[in-house]
Structure 1
C-alpha cells in the first residue's frame, strides 16, 4: 500500500474490509519472510476473528444512517434565571465545560452515585433538603459516570456491555462476546419532582471523555474492531431505532493496531424526532487517550508505539547500518556481495555471512575480539536509543467543532515524548502548544528529559525547546497566555517559567524548592498556586513523600520566580483528590477561598509487648516475661493498631503578599486508633466543594453534604446525609417513539 498522510473516507463496509485485509496480508508476508530467514517474529497472530450480529451489519453503506442530516441550532433553550452567585466545576478552558458527578445551578444540586441521581434544593442552606432520589435502570455492577448541566437539562454518561453472538475463526458454534456501549441520557429536570428522560442514546465503544460547549455535548468513545475481516463498525441506537451509522475516516499509513475513535455531538435541546440532534464520525486509528478542547477545536491524542514489525525488520538494519561498518572493508565487501546474490535464499545468505564472520573471529587475537564486541555493543546501544527517541511520539489529531454541532477533521501532527495529562496542551489563537517528557533506555544508561513544542494551525512544528531538566519528568504544567509554568521533579521541585511569546520557546527563570506540585492553578497574572506534596530525604539518600503542600509562586519577575509561602497539611498518610483530579478543587479569588478535600490516616505509637515482671497475664493465665535468659516470649501478640483517620476539607485564604491562612476545616469523618471498623463508608465517587452566595457546600465520598458560612467556616448551617435519605424505584427506559418521553419513578421528599 502506498502511504500518505491524507485523510480518506471509506465509502462502504466492503472498502473497509479490503483495507484491513491488505494490512493482514502485509503482516503475514513479513512474518513469512522473517521466518524463512531465521529471524524471530514476535508480532503474533492477527486479532481473533468474529462475525458480527448487530445493527451495523456487513454490506451496509457507511454514513447512510440518519446522521447525514446537517445539524441545526435549536431555538427552544430558555435563558438562565438570575440568582445568587455560585461556583461551578473547575475546568481548564473558559466556556468549555467538563463532565463531573456533581453539578449545581445556584439553587439546585445534582449528584450521581451508583445507579442513582439525587436532586437537592440547596438554597437557602437553612432549608436545604433532598427533592428526589431516583435510580436509573442500568446493568448491575455499572455506575453513572458523570454529567453536564445546561439550564433545565442534564446529560448523563454511563457504560454497559451488550451481548452479541459470534462464530470464532474456524469454529462453528456461536459464542457470546460482550462489547462496551456508552449511553448518553438527556434528562429534562425543569420539574425537579418529576424529571423526564428525553433521549437515551447508546453508542458503540468505551467512554473516553466529553466536553460541553454552548448547547452541544461532544463525546469521544473508543471501540475495537474484533475481526479485521468482518469488523464491528460503530453505530448509535436509541431503543431499537438506528439513529446514526458514522462515516469512517482513515489514513493509509500503517498503525500498530487499529480501532475506531468516534466523536459524537449531541444537541442537548434537540427534539426526540429530530435526526440532527446527534452527529457522529469515526476515525480508524490507535485508541485515543488524552483529549483537549477549546471553544472551536477538539484535539485527540495517543502515544505512538513501535511498529508491530519493528524488532524484526530492525534487526537487518542494525546489522548493515551499525555492526557491519565496524568490520574491515574487505569483510564489508564480501558480506555485501553475498547479500546482492539473487540466486541465494535469505537463509542461505545468512549461512554464508555467519560463516564468514566466524572465520574472521577465529583469526583475531582474543583481546582484539573483545575490543570489537565492546565497540559493537556500545554502537548498538546508541543506535537503539536513537530509534526509541525517534519513534516514541505523541500523535495529535485536530477536529473542528462548530457552534451547531458540526464535526470536521482538520489535521494531524506529532511531537516527541509523552503527555502527562490534558494540562500538557493548550491552544492559543492559531497555535497549539504541547509539553512532553521523553524517556528511553539503552544498555548503558537511561535517558529522560522534557520538551516544549509550538505547532501551527495545521499541527506542523514551528518552534521547540528540548532537553529541559535532564533526568527529571514533568509533574505539572499550566499554560497562561504567552507563558508556560512547568514543574519537574526528581529530588527537588524545579519550577520553570517559559516564554511562549514567539514561536521559539525559551526558559526565562526557574526556582528550586523541596517537594513537588501535581497541579498548578492561576491566582492572577503574576501569581500561581501549586498543589502537591512535601518531601524530605531519607536515610538512604532517596526521597520520601510527606504531607500535602500548597505553594504560592510570585512570577512578576519572570527571571527570578519566588515562593511567597508554602502551607503543608499532615504528613505521611495525608492525601488529597486534587493531586489527581483538578475538579476536586474550589478556588475563588473574589471570595478569597481555596478549598481542598483532605484525607489523613496516621498510625500512633506501636503497642508494646508486656515487660518483664509487669504482672500481665498471658493467654494461659500465667505471668510471662519478655527478654532475659531463659525467659519465655508471651503468646499474646500486640494488636495491629488502627490509624487515626480524618476526612474533610481544609479551607485556606490567600494574600498575594503574605501567603496562606487557615480559615477553618470542615470535618466529615473522624475515628481514633482504638475504634473498631474505623473506615468510613463510601457513598459517592469523590469529594467536591462549591459555594452558593455566602455558604460553602462540601460533599464527601462517604455521602455527606455540609453547609458552612464562608465568613465563619466553623459555623455549620445545615447538613444532609445523602446515603440515608430517600427511597429508590427504578424507572423503565424510554421507548423511541414520536412525542414520547419517559418519567422517572422515584421517591420524593418535600
Structure 2
C-alpha cells in the first residue's frame, strides 16, 4: 500500500480518495489518514493498479527537460552510538545499538570473513542526457587469485590467523559487504558500483538494468559451507541494515524500454514516449524478486505510495524506491513497501527508517524526510516533512539524524549566498502528527528567542553526535569550536557550552556521559591526524583533556575512520580501560626510496575514565602493514578487530596481527 504516482485529472483523485484513505490507514496501522484532500501528507497510497500505471506513464510523457537531474547531495555526516563490542571481542562499529550494518570485514569470535577489495565496477558513463551503468570499466582481477570471500580462523592467545576456506564469487558478483548472524553469513552484492551519494543518484537512467543479490550461507561446519538462500532483486543497491532476524534492503529501479527518452525535452520526445508506453502494464514497471530460482513481482501496485498531486509538491520520479524486509529465518516471506521519490540517504533506529532526499524549492535548498515504521511485515509509512537546508554534505551524514522516543532530531546546512557568511546550520526537531501522516516541527535552533548561530560565520560543519539529551557539533574554518547543545527540553533546545581549539574533529565517539573522543586533523601540525579527549562533565564548560597526533610528521596523513565509522574499532577492556584502534595512511618523502605510502594501525587506550578530570589518552604502539602480495587497484580497505589481547588489522585484502602488549612483534600478511 505504498508508492507514488501522479494522477492526471481531478476526477480520478476525488473518485479514489476514500479508497486511498483506507489503504493508508491499514498500511500505517495508526488510524491516521493521508488519502483525503484535507491531508497534509507528502505521500499518498495508490488506489488501484490502473492509477499506478497511469501515474508512472505520466512522468515519462510530460516535457520536463532535465528537471529531474538537478544538482544533488554528496556523501554523509553524524547521531547516537554503539562501540560495536560483543563479549571479549569487537564487532562492526555501528551508529545505533541493535541496528547492525554491513561491512567488508566481519568477525564472530572464531573466524574473520573478508570481502575482496577488487570487487566493484568503477564508473557511471554519461552520453548526452542518457547516463547508464557501465561494465566497460571494471576493477582488474588477478587470475592467480580469483575473487572470493576469504575466511580465516583466529588464535587470539597468540594473535595469529590462518585461512581455512573461501567462498568463490561468480563473474560480475561485486560484494558490497557482509552480515554475520549466528551460523549464517549474509553477503550483499550488486551488478554495479556502490559509491558515494552524489549527482548521479538523482538521475534516472543509471538505476535501470541493475541487480542486487543477497546470499545466505550456513557456516555451522566451516569446512563445508552451504548456500541456503539466493535472493536476487531487480534494481540498484542503495543501503542496508539488519535488526535481529530481519534484513532491510533499500533499492531503486528504473524500468527499461527500447527507444525511451528518460528526460523528454521536446514535444516530439514526449510523443515518442507516449507511443512506446501505450500498452504498458504494471508488470512492465514493477521489478521482480527471485528467491532460489522462483520469480515473482517484488510488490504489487497497492504496496506503493505516490507523491501527492498538487502544484507545490513536484518531486515524483519515474524511479521506484523500494524498502524490502527479508526475514532471515524465512526469506521467502520478504515484503516490500515502495514509493516514487528519490532516496539520497538513510538513518535507521531500532523502530523506524528515515529516508532523506534533497529538494530545490528555494535558493537555499531543503531536505525531505519520509518515515517508515519497522516491525512485523512490511515497513509502514508514518509521515513526511520538508525542512530547510541540506542534510547531505561531507563525512558520515547519518550522524546528523537521531531518534529519541517519537521525535527525530536533525541538523541541516543552509547556503545563504552571502559572501561574508555562506553557511547557516540549523537544528530541527520533528515528531509524528497525531491526526495525519506527517512529521510536524516541534522546534528549531537558532530561533527568534535564541538567535546565536551554530558555528561562526563561514564555518563548515564537521563532527556531529547526538547522545541522549545532548548534541555535540564541531564546525571549522580556522579554529575548531566544539558546541554542546542541551536537548532536554525538545521545545526549547539551546547552546549550553562552547570550546575553541585549533584543528577539527570529523568523528565523535562518546566514551561515557562525561568523556567525548574526537578524531580529525591537526591545525598546528598540519598534515597529522589528531585525537582529542574532551571532558564534557560540565555541559557549560567543555575541556580538552589530552591529545595524540598520529601519522608521519611532514607527510600527508589521513584516517579512513574520519569518514567511515567502520574503520574505527572500540572495545571496553576488563581492567577498566577502553582500547581502540585508528588506521592511518601516510605518504612521505625519504632520501632512500622517494615517496613512501604506508598503512599503520595505531593502538590507543583511555585510562582513568571513572574520574573524568584525570582521564588519559595513551598511545600503546602501532601495527605496520608492509606491501601486500599484490597491489590494490584503488587503495584498499582498512579495518580491525580486537579480541582480548589480540589485534587483527585488515589492510587491502590481507591480515596483519599482534598482541596488544607487544605490538612490535607482528605476524602477516595472511
Partner of 1:133: 166
Partner of 1:384: none
Does the aligned pair in 1 maintain the 2:156–2:645 contact within 8 Å?
Answer: no
Q: Does 1:182 align with 2:212?
A: yes
Does the aligned pair in 1 maintain the 2:207–2:254 contact within 8 Å?
Answer: no
- Residues of 1 paired with 2:650 and 2:207: CA distance? 39
Call closer, same or farther: CA 1:194–1:530 in 2, change over 3 Å.
Answer: same
- For residues 390-443 of structure 1, the C-alpha deviation after alignment (integer angstroms, 9 at most, x for no partner) is xx11111111110x343111111122112241100000111110011111426x
Does the aligned pair in 1 maintain the 2:316–2:340 contact within 8 Å?
Answer: no
Q: Kindly report which structure 2 residues correspond to 1:636-715, keeping only aligned pairs within 5 A, or say none.
A: 642-655=594-607, 656=609, 657-669=614-626, 681=632, 685-701=636-652, 703-715=653-665
Q: Does 1:116 align with 2:141?
A: no
Partner of 2:285: 232
Segments of structure 2 that go 5 or more residues without pairing to the other structure are: 1-8, 11-36, 70-85, 120-146, 194-205, 263-276, 434-438, 447-452
- Residues of 2 paired with 1:423 and 1:177: CA distance? 26
What's the Cα RMSD here? Answer: 3.0
SS at match of 1:662: strand
Call closer, same or farther: CA 1:707–1:583 in 2, change over 3 Å.
Answer: same
Q: Does 1:719 align with 2:660?
A: no
C-alpha deviation, 1:283, in angstroms: 0.9
Q: Kindly report which structure 2 residues correspond to 1:366-515, keeping only aligned pairs within 5 A, or say none.
A: 387-389=362-364, 392-402=365-375, 404-419=376-391, 420=393, 421-441=397-417, 447-458=422-433, 459-466=439-446, 467-469=453-455, 470-503=457-490, 504-515=492-503
Q: Is the radius of gyration larger for structure 1 or structure 2?
A: 1
SS at match of 2:88: coil
Does the aligned pair in 2 maintain the 1:302–1:396 contact within 8 Å?
Answer: yes
Partner of 1:585: 568
Counterpart of 2:100 (choices 97, 102, 117) is 97
Does the aligned pair in 1 maintain the 2:89–2:571 contact within 8 Å?
Answer: no
Does the aligned pair in 1 maintain the 2:307–2:316 contact within 8 Å?
Answer: no
Partner of 2:44: 8
Does the aligned pair in 2 maintain the 1:84–1:693 contact within 8 Å?
Answer: no
Call closer, same or farther: CA 1:647–1:685 in 2, change over 3 Å.
Answer: closer
Partner of 2:142: none
Does the aligned pair in 2 maintain the 1:188–1:197 contact within 8 Å?
Answer: yes
Partner of 2:131: none
Q: Does 1:282 align with 2:338?
A: yes
- Residues of 1 paired with 2:350 and 2:189: CA distance? 24
Q: Does 1:251 align with 2:254?
A: no
Does the aligned pair in 2 maintain the 1:116–1:144 contact within 8 Å?
Answer: no
SS at match of 1:578: helix
SS at match of 1:89: coil
Does the aligned pair in 2 maintain the 1:473–1:489 contact within 8 Å?
Answer: yes
Call closer, same or farther: CA 1:446–1:508 in 2, change over 3 Å.
Answer: closer
C-alpha deviation, 1:183, in angstroms: 0.8
Q: Does 1:568 align with 2:549?
A: yes
- Residues of 2 paired with 1:603 and 1:257: CA distance? 52
C-alpha deviation, 1:281, in angstroms: 1.7
- Residues of 2 paired with 1:452 and 1:145: CA distance? 33
SS at match of 1:221: strand
122-131 vs 526-535, which deviates more? Answer: 122-131
Call closer, same or farther: CA 1:546–1:474 in 2, change over 3 Å.
Answer: same
- Residues of 2 paired with 1:160 and 1:573: CA distance? 34
- Residues of 2 paired with 1:664 and 1:531: CA distance? 17
Does the aligned pair in 2 maintain the 1:221–1:262 contact within 8 Å?
Answer: yes
- For residues 72-127 of structure 1, the C-alpha deviation after alignment (integer angstroms, 9 at most, x for no partner) is xxxxxxxxxxx972111000101111110111111111111134111122134546
Does the aligned pair in 2 maintain the 1:101–1:111 contact within 8 Å?
Answer: yes
- Residues of 2 paired with 1:694 and 1:265: CA distance? 38
- Residues of 2 paired with 1:477 and 1:102: CA distance? 25
- Residues of 1 paired with 2:633 and 2:68: CA distance? 43
Does the aligned pair in 2 maintain the 1:188–1:195 contact within 8 Å?
Answer: yes
C-alpha deviation, 1:200, in angstroms: 1.5
SS at match of 2:95: coil
Does the aligned pair in 1 maintain the 2:233–2:298 contact within 8 Å?
Answer: no
Greater RCO (Cα-Cα under 8 Å, separation 6 or more): 2
- Residues of 1 paired with 2:445 and 2:359: CA distance? 21
Does the aligned pair in 2 maintain the 1:24–1:46 contact within 8 Å?
Answer: no
- For residues 199-256 of structure 1, the C-alpha deviation after alignment (integer angstroms, 9 at most, x for no partner) is 2111122111111111111111122255684563232123542244312211224434
Does the aligned pair in 1 maintain the 2:324–2:378 contact within 8 Å?
Answer: no
What's the TM-score once normalised by structure 1's chain length?
A: 0.65
Counterpart of 2:183 (choices 147, 152, 155) is 152
What's the TM-score once normalised by structure 2's chain length?
A: 0.72
Call closer, same or farther: CA 1:430–1:89 in 2, change over 3 Å.
Answer: same
- Residues of 1 paired with 2:463 and 2:403: CA distance? 17
Call closer, same or farther: CA 1:492–1:445 in 2, change over 3 Å.
Answer: closer
Aligned pair count?
520
- Residues of 2 paired with 1:143 and 1:224: CA distance? 20
- Residues of 1 paired with 2:316 and 2:44: CA distance? 18
Call closer, same or farther: CA 1:681–1:456 in 2, change over 3 Å.
Answer: closer
Q: Does 1:303 align with 2:358?
A: yes
Call closer, same or farther: CA 1:177–1:450 in 2, change over 3 Å.
Answer: closer
Call closer, same or farther: CA 1:463–1:131 in 2, change over 3 Å.
Answer: same
Partner of 2:75: none
- Residues of 1 paired with 2:440 and 2:546: CA distance? 40
Call closer, same or farther: CA 1:468–1:217 in 2, change over 3 Å.
Answer: same
Call closer, same or farther: CA 1:46–1:506 in 2, change over 3 Å.
Answer: closer
- Residues of 1 paired with 2:660 and 2:221: CA distance? 30
C-alpha deviation, 1:683, in angstroms: 9.8
Call closer, same or farther: CA 1:44–1:697 in 2, change over 3 Å.
Answer: closer
C-alpha deviation, 1:10, in angstroms: 2.8
- Residues of 2 paired with 1:595 and 1:427: CA distance? 28
- For residues 632-663 of structure 1, the C-alpha deviation after alignment (integer angstroms, 9 at most, x for no partner) is xxxxxxxxx73133212111122342532210
Call closer, same or farther: CA 1:665–1:245 in 2, change over 3 Å.
Answer: closer
- Residues of 1 paired with 2:659 and 2:109: CA distance? 16
Q: Kindly report which structure 2 residues correspond to 1:310-325, keeping only aligned pairs within 5 A, or say none.
A: none
- Residues of 2 paired with 1:704 and 1:100: CA distance? 15
